[in-house]
């Protein structure tokens, strides 16, 4: 039985890597690929951090694990604000076993470092440091708890936390270095069969510094050095898997879906909040007012809270389901038809095409569809969606964010692998790892091993 180490590079795709290789800032990884099996992974819909990494580590589509985006889609009525609230997802929302749970049940040990959506941490056979969406260093973000104090003494920090808008290249580089130090220390000091570590800095640098060649070279150069040093200290028989949860790309413009819903009369606005927001924006002193503050959800017919790339999730305020639901079942078809026609008309003027508005049953399957958005809207892939409110309904301005295709790299001294799956999905990674570890794959996983050994 081989040991397996998984290194996650959030948001990296082959376009990004090939560009970095041309810039000669990732020489180790470029050379490392010469003796590896490589390919691209099709991510979740939408290709966002919480559903994508969760699908990777559960081997299941979101309908079987219950996570569809950063926010829980089921609204909660707040008596004080007299409106709906939507909470951020956390590890308690995951309804399926993850890789380390299955490995633990088979008597093997894990070291899991910074995998997204692992806060609050759960018990496992091994060590876990929770990843992206961990609130702060005061929280209990490790299992066992003593691990928290051990790594804090060694200089550990969370890096960029969820919602943080301001961070510098040097902060990202420092975060990579600290994480590398912690990974190397734990891998050397403690026994393990499966080790997983995710670097979110690759996503964060592209969100803020896309197009800045020098910053990209600095941060990805540090990632290259981290991979080199982590792998250098490992036994030669360890199977190395490098993966990403989705990719990153430029889009020609942005479709403001909630603005379109507002025009159609499907979405209601809190006008006092809107005026306050516009006042602060004109003064260039924007306060903590978000789109969520401006929308009056419980009086709206439809709204979007999950958004990424060329797809977005649409929620209907349904009677008999939502706390203050106003949409009757017999009205749904008319609502979707009107929205489709309006989107098609707007996009046609900009040579974009709406592929379809899919119901959740067309995209997902499993026992947790009640957590999914009611509909998924997709375009051809030239324009991205945004849930933000804007004066325009569609804006032609180059922007960049997630794309649907990530990467996988698998390398082992015994390179006699036989490729089984030429078009792998993100949920194929979990059964691939279980096969390498010689652990039986649960029957309810959606994924299939990418390679056989």
Sequential DSSP letters for 313-363: EEEE-BTTTSTT--B-GGGHHHHHHHHHHHHHHHHHTTT--EEEEEEHHHH
316 neighbors 338 (Cβ within 8 angstroms): no
62 neighbors 364 (Cβ within 8 angstroms): yes
Cβ neighbours of residue 156 under 8 Å, at least 6 residues apart? 129, 178, 182
Sequential DSSP letters for 243-264: E-S-EEEEESEEEEHHHHHHHT
pLDDT in tens, the chain (453 residues): 689 999 999 999 999 999 999 999 999 999 999 989 899 999 999 999 999 999 999 999 999 999 999 999 999 999 998 999 999 999 999 999 999 999 999 999 999 999 999 999 999 999 999 999 999 999 999 999 999 999 999 999 999 999 898 999 999 999 999 999 999 999 999 999 999 999 999 999 999 999 999 999 999 999 999 999 999 989 988 999 999 999 999 999 999 999 999 999 999 999 887 777 776 666 665 555 678 889 999 999 999 998 768 899 999 999 999 999 999 999 999 999 999 999 999 988 888 787 789 999 999 999 999 999 999 999 887 899 999 888 889 999 999 999 999 999 999 866 555 554 567 999 999 999 999 999 999 999 999 998 765
Question: SS3 of 234, please?
Answer: coil
- Give the integer Cα–Cα distance in Å for 334 and 399: 32
Residue spans of the domains in the chain: they are 4-60+96-250+402-452, 253-397
**Alpha-carbon torsion angle 86, 114, 437, 125, nearest 10:** -90
DSSP state of 76: E
Quote the pTM value: 0.95
Q: Of 78, 51, 76, 75, which Cα lies nearest the Cα of 62?
A: 51
- Give the integer Cα–Cα distance in Å for 430 and 446: 10
Task: Give the per-residue pLDDT at 1.
Answer: 61
> Angle at the Cα of 428 (from 19 to 175), degrees rounded to 5?
50
User: Which tokens in the block code for residue 429?
Assistant: 């990674």
189 neighbors 149 (Cβ within 8 angstroms): no
Q: At the topology level of CATH, where does 4-60+96-250+402-452 sit?
A: Alkaline Phosphatase, subunit A (3.40.720)
DSSP state of 429: H
Task: Give the per-residue pLDDT at 284.
Answer: 66
Task: Give the per-residue pLDDT at 320.
Answer: 94
71 neighbors 133 (Cβ within 8 angstroms): no
- Give the integer Cα–Cα distance in Å for 247 and 185: 30
């Amino acid at each position: 039985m081989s040991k397996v180490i998984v290194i996650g590079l959030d948001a990296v795709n082959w376009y990004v890597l090939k560009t970095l290789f041309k810039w000669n800032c990732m020489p180790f990884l470029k050379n490392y690929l010469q003796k590896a099996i490589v390919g691209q992974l099709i991510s979740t819909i939408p290709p966002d951090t919480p559903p994508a990494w969760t699908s990777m580590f559960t081997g299941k589509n979101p309908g079987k694990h219950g996570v569809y985006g950063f926010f829980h889609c089921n609204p909660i009525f707040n008596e004080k604000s007299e409106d709906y609230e939507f909470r951020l997802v956390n590890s308690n929302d995951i309804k399926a076993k993850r890789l380390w749970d299955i490995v633990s049940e088979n008597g093997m040990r894990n070291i899991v470092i910074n995998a997204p959506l692992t806060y609050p941490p759960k018990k496992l056979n091994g060590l876990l440091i929770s990843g992206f969406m961990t609130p702060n260093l005061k929280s209990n973000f490790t299992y066992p708890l003593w691990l928290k104090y051990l790594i804090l003494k060694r200089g550990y920090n969370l890096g960029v936390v969820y919602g943080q808008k301001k961070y510098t290249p040097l902060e990202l580089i420092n975060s990579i270095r600290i994480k590398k130090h912690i990974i190397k220390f734990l891998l050397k000091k403690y026994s393990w069969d499966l080790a997983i570590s995710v670097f979110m800095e690759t996503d964060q640098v592209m969100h803020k510094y896309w197009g800045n060649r020098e910053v990209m070279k600095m941060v990805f150069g540090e990632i290259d050095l981290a991979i080199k040093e982590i792998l250098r200290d490992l036994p030669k028989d360890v199977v190395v898997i490098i993966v990403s949860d989705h990719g990153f790309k430029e889009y020609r413009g942005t479709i403001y879906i909630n603005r379109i819903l507002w025009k159609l009369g499907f979405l209601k606005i809190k006008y006092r909040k809107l005026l306050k927001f516009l006042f602060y924006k004109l003064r260039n002193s924007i306060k903590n007012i978000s789109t969520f503050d401006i929308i009056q959800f419980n009086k709206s017919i439809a709204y979007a809270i999950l958004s990424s790339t060329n797809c977005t999730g649409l929620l209907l305020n349904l009677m008999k389901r939502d706390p203050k639901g106003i949409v009757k079942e017999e009205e749904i078809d008319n609502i979707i038809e009107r929205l489709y026609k309006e989107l098609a008309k707007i996009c046609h003027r900009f040579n974009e095409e709406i592929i379809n508005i899919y119901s959740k049953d067309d995209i997902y399957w499993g026992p947790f569809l009640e957590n999914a958005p009611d509909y998924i809207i997709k375009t051809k892939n030239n324009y991205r969606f945004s849930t933000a409110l804007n004066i325009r309904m569609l804006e032609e301005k180059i922007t960049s964010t997630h794309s649907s295709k990530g990467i996988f790299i698998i390398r082992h001294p015994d390179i006699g692998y036989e490729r089984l799956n030429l078009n792998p999905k993100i949920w194929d990674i979990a059964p691939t790892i279980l096969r390498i570890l010689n652990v039986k794959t649960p029957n309810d996983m959606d994924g299939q091993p990418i390679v056989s050994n």
